[in-house]
Structure 1
Amino acid sequence: MRIRALLALTAVAASLSACATADRYDAAGDVHALLTAIRNNDRATFDSLVDHRALTGAVETRLVEEARRSGAKGGWQAAMIALAGPAADVAGAALIRPEVFRAAANYYGYTPDKPIPGRIAIASALRPTGDGRVCAAKKDGPCMLTFTREGGSWRLSGFDAQAVNLQLKR
Structure 2
Amino acid sequence: MLTAYVDESMRRRPDDHNIYAMAAIALHSVAHDDARMTLESLRIGKNPRLHWRDESSARQRVIADAIAALPVAALVTVHIYDSACGTERARRRCLERLLLELEATGVTRVVVESRSSHQDHLDLLLVMAMRKSQAISRAIAVDWRPSCQEPLLWAADAVVSATTWWIDGHGGGFERLEERVRVVCVD
TM norm structure 2: 0.24
Instruction: Flag the structure with more relative contact order, 1 or 2, with Cα contacts below 8 A and sequence separation at least 6.
Output: 2
Larger Rg: 1
* Higher share in helix: 1
Question: TM-score, normalised to structure 1's length?
Answer: 0.25
* Larger fraction in strand: 2
